[in-house]
Amino acid sequence: MQNQDTLQRLKTIDGHLRGIIRMVEDDAYCIDVIKQVQAVQAALNKVSEAILKDHLSSCVTTAIRGEDPNERARVLEEITDVFATSQKN
Amino acid sequence: MQNQDTLQRLKTIDGHLRGIIRMVEDDAYCIDVIKQVQAVQAALNKVSEAILKDHLSSCVTTAIRGEDPNERARVLEEITDVFATSQKN
Amino acid sequence: MQNQDTLQRLKTIDGHLRGIIRMVEDDAYCIDVIKQVQAVQAALNKVSEAILKDHLSSCVTTAIRGEDPNERARVLEEITDVFATSQKN
Amino acid sequence: MQNQDTLQRLKTIDGHLRGIIRMVEDDAYCIDVIKQVQAVQAALNKVSEAILKDHLSSCVTTAIRGEDPNERARVLEEITDVFATSQKN
């Protein structure tokens, strides 16, 4: 997976996270820190969605249209797994 | 979608939810109510996971192996949508 | 905790959940079922928020203004607990 | 808020995030990237929990034991807000 959009988003999020580290170093108000952490998490949700969308239309589609039943089962199980984890985050 | 397992789980969850209604009627302690509400939500997560798993290996697989590109795009977009919502719940 | 608003919301959610059970019995499309389950979870989030809000301004405030340090610690730990679980649901 | 533990956790998470950026640059498998993003989010959940816990026993306790009703209302509303957002992340 090489994706300029994903890469750019992750770098922006990393800048955001480093900003939070400075906030904590500068003794910022707890609630302001928590709100910024939550903003980073929402931005990471968007990254996961974009990656999953690409993955479904590329790797998953190829595997399901292919003739290897194990490979088909594998890609589908991965989708269920990341969905299950997304509900717990 | 007709699934005895899903149906049974949902009926159990409904019993749980009616128990919570009785707790509120009986003036139960707030935190105990919230914890039961959270337990219902965790159980609903399991239902969604089970439904999605079945859906992927049936409808989604059929659509992707089929020859209609619109239908393929449609089923994949639905997966991305429920994944996006699952992250916000 | 006795709250007419909470009670009414929970009864509405129960009606919604019984509607989902009928959808499954009637063989509804998987994704439509998942979307309704997610709507129930979002409504339950609102219930938890409303209960927590009341709890903070009543029980928690009373405990923290009281003179029992164990009781104060207890109510605060409960808040941290439900917060932690809310992040995992 | 100045907290060595929080600071250390955030720096570790930042290292994790920069590792994900390298994974994307190196064309890693989509699902592996999503799983690492989810691991970062789970770690950020722990940070928020730890900050909230400290905040409750310091600022919130002080405000609620104080005599300014506006200040009391303000700190409680902030808790409800971060709880509401945590449910949507």
Q: What is the ipTM of this complex?
A: 0.92
Structure tokens at C28: 């509804």
List chain B pLDDT tens, one digit each, 89 residues. 558 999 999 999 999 999 999 999 999 999 999 999 999 999 999 999 999 999 999 999 999 999 999 999 999 999 999 999 998 87
Domain ranges, residue A57? 4-87
Q: How far apart are CA B42 and CA B37, in angstroms?
A: 9
Chain D hits for A51, CB-CB cut-off 8 Å, are 30, 33-34, 37
pLDDT on residue C66:
96
Structure tokens at C35: 């979307």
Task: Kindly report each contact of residues C67-71 with a partner whose C-beta sits within 8 Å and lies 24 or more positions away, as own/partner.
Answer: none
Which regions in chain D score pLDDT beneath 70?
1-2
Give chains near B: 3+ CB pairs under 8 A: A, C, D
Q: How far apart are CA C86 and CA D87, in angstroms?
A: 5
Chain C hits for B14, CB-CB cut-off 8 Å, are 14, 17-18, 21
Alpha carbon of B23: minimum distance to chain A alpha carbons (Å): 26
Structure tokens at A51: 């990656």
Q: Which of residues 48-87 of D touch B (CB under 8 A)?
A: 87
Q: In chain D, which ranges are continuous DSSP H helix?
A: 4-25, 30-55, 61-65, 69-87
> C55: burial class by Cβ within 10 Å (0-12, 13-18, 19+)?
buried
pLDDT on residue D3:
84
Mean pLDDT of A35-40: 97
Mean pLDDT of A76-80: 96
Chain B hits for A60, CB-CB cut-off 8 Å, are 64, 76
Alpha carbon of A52: minimum distance to chain B alpha carbons (Å): 7
User: Which one of D21, D27, D28 has the shortest CB-CB distance to A10?
Assistant: D21
* CA distance readout (Å), C53 to C44, C59, D81: 14, 10, 9
Q: Is A89 on the interface with C (CB under 8 A)?
A: yes
pLDDT of A43 strictly over 90: yes
HSE (side-chain half, CA atoms, 13 Å) at A88: 16
pLDDT digits (tens, 9 = 90+) for A10-19: 999 999 999 9
pLDDT on residue C88:
81
Q: Which amino acid is at B35?
A: K
pLDDT of A87 strictly over 80: yes
Asked if A84's CB is within 8 angstroms of B61's CB, the reply is: no
Q: Is A4 on the interface with C (CB under 8 A)?
A: no
Which regions in chain C score pLDDT beneath 50?
none
Task: Kindly report each contact of residues C23-27 with a partner whose C-beta sits within 8 Å and lies 24 or more positions away, as own/partner.
Answer: C24/B1, C24/B2, C24/B3, C24/B6, C24/B7, C24/B10, C25/B2, C25/B7, C27/B1, C27/B2
The total number of structural domains that make up chain C:
1
Q: Is A12 on the interface with B (CB under 8 A)?
A: no
Q: Who contacts C77 (Cβ-Cβ below 8 Å, separation ≥6)?
A: none
pLDDT on residue C29:
95
Q: How far apart are CA B3 and CA C34, in angstroms?
A: 13
For chain A, the average pLDDT equals: 94
Q: Is the dihedral of CA D24, B48, D87, B79 positive or negative?
A: positive
Asked if A83's CB is within 8 angstroms of B49's CB, the reply is: yes
Chain B hits for C55, CB-CB cut-off 8 Å, are 30-31, 34
Residue in A closest to D87 by C-alpha: A89
The CATH number for B45's domain is 1.20.58.1000
